[in-house]
Amino acid sequence: MESPLYLEPMQTRDEPPTPYERKLAGLIHAIFSEGHETLPALVGALNERGSTAPDGSEWTEETFRAEMRRLGE
C-alpha cells in the first residue's frame, strides 16, 4: 500500500534547475542553516559571500524579492 505524501508538491517544473538556480539555492540553504532567518540577514550574507543579483550588483531586499518572484513564475 502506497502511503500518501505528507505535503503535496505545489511547484512543477518542465526543466531541471539551471546552474545559477542550483548555486543560489545552495547559498540560501547554507545561510538559513547558519541561523540567518530574516530577509536583511539573508541579503547581507549573500553579499558577504560574493553573490550578486542578476544585474551584477549587490543584493538588496528589493532585488532579492524580485528574483524570487521571477524564479517562481
Q: What is the mean pLDDT of the segment spanning 19-35?
A: 96
Residue span of the structural domain in which 55 resides? 38-73
35-50: buried (b, 16+ CB within 10 Å) or exposed (e) per residue?
ebeeeeebbbbbeeee
Q: Write the CA distances from 51 to 4, 67, 73, integer angstroms.
A: 38, 13, 22
User: What is the domain count for the chain?
Assistant: 1
Residue 31, domain member (yes or no): no
Residue 51, domain member (yes or no): yes
Is the model's pLDDT at 11 over the cut of 80?
Answer: no
What pLDDT was estimated at residue 26? Answer: 96
